[in-house]
Amino acid sequence: MIRIENLVKSFGAFNAVDDISFSVPQGAFLVLVGPSGCGKSTMLRMLAGLEQPNGGTVSFGDRIVSDGNRGWTIDPAQRDTGLVFQSYALWPHMTVTGNVDWPLKVAGMAKPDRQARVADVLRMLGIEHLAGRYPNEISGGQQQRVAIARMIAPRPSILLFDEPLSNLDAKLRVEMRTELLRVHRATGATSVYVTHDQVEAMTMASHVAVLNHGKVEQFGTPEELVQTPNTAFVATFVGTPPANLVPVSALSPPQAANLPIEASAMYRPEDLLVSATPVDGGLAFDFAEASLVAGRTMLTGTRDNLRITAVVDAAPRFGVGDTVHFILPAAPAALFGANGERLS
């Protein structure tokens, strides 16, 4: 449904999006995830037609909608897309009904049909009781539902979400993740969702593109990213908690044997054990923090510029200043070279 080929977006000498290519199947829920400044919002704006690429193409189905090589792009209103902004961008002088009705009116839909469609989407989002209220009279979560209702009312083929949950509290964010996926399934549209929160990415996506410095580090399913990360960045960015990367030079002789000295070894948190006393082959770290996660203990230690986390069934109680000994498995789950590329 969406095909991106060699896409480039430059601001002066800076490439915010740097030669990116991938394809998204019909009905997928693609999440663009990465740290601030990685290019994910710029990518979404090019999909929406709000930014023109400097190179490459964007296609929806068999139709090219942007061609940076030839310097043209199809107007946002002609792309059959819907967009929800981080700020919701509701019209304050219109009621909830007015906000949802407006894009249908602009599209030339007859009034009876508009009324029926508005009623349908308000029921779908569970906000029919707010129909006569204005945006300043409803909560942030309700405003978000109105923004989503306005987006899906014209039945676009592609839904675009620009960090829509970032303004909500933690509990409401979890609830709205479920709501967004329900809307995605109900519409049958292809969705593209931007976030810097890898938990959102891994719980919502059918496909994930991990961006870093304007490039795609890896594109695949959430399971592929966690089980077989292609780069050191992906290994330490996805997962809850993410994998540990330890320089081979910091390992003790048993673990470091036969490993390249310039490499970094990846260890999954659930494969580590912890001890309050020294253990052969263990690594000593300063205790940083511990928390309960789904009945297990997630325990983190720091040393110099290293940070390591283990998830264990039970752990001794540690306090500030204590030393934690992390026991590593005999072999790492993966090896990464000095440039972050996967070696094995």
pLDDT digits (tens, 9 = 90+) for 287-315: 999 999 888 999 999 999 999 999 999 88
Q: What is the mean pLDDT of residues 132-144?
A: 93
Q: Which of 45-49, 180-184, 267-271 has the lowest mean pLDDT?
A: 180-184
Among the candidates 175, 210, 236, a domain finishes at: 236
Alpha helices (H) along the chain: 40-48, 96-106, 111-124, 140-152, 170-187, 198-204, 222-227, 232-237, 253-256
287's tokens: 């205790």
- Please, what is the Cα angle at 314 between 308 and 315, to 5 degrees? 55
Is the residue at 342 inside a domain? no
Is the residue at 142 inside a domain? yes
- Please, what is the Cα angle at 136 between 135 and 142, to 5 degrees? 50
Among the candidates 174, 208, 236, a domain finishes at: 236
Instruction: Please report the pLDDT score of residue 198 as a whole number.
Output: 86
Examine the domain organization and report whether 312 and 165 are in the same domain: no
Nearest to 310 by CA among 277, 275, 262, 264: 275
Examine the domain organization and report whether 263 and 291 are in the same domain: yes
The whole-angstrom separation of Cα 27 and Cα 20 is 21
Instruction: Please report the pLDDT score of residue 281 as a whole number.
Output: 83
Q: What is the mean pLDDT of residues 247-260?
A: 88
258 pLDDT above the threshold of 90: no
Q: Going by C-beta distance under 8 Å and a sequence separation of 6 or more, which residues neighbour residue 178?
A: none
Nearest to 147 by CA among 176, 169, 111: 176
257 pLDDT above the threshold of 90: no
Read off the CATH number of the domain in which 9 is found.
3.40.50.300
The DSSP 8-state label assigned to residue 342 in this structure reads: B
246 pLDDT above the threshold of 90: yes
122's tokens: 């308000």
Instruction: Please report the pLDDT score of residue 136 as a whole number.
Output: 94
- Please, what is the Cα angle at 213 between 210 and 214, to 5 degrees? 75
254 pLDDT above the threshold of 90: no
Q: Going by C-beta distance under 8 Å and a sequence separation of 6 or more, which residues neighbour residue 136?
A: 92
The DSSP 8-state label assigned to residue 275 in this structure reads: E
Percent of the chain with pLDDT over 70: 100
For all residues of the chain together, what is the average pLDDT? 93
86 pLDDT above the threshold of 90: no
Examine the domain organization and report whether 202 and 246 are in the same domain: no
- Cβ neighbour number for residue 149 with a 10 Å cutoff: 25
Note down the domain range covering 182: 2-236
Among the candidates 236, 268, 296, a domain finishes at: 236
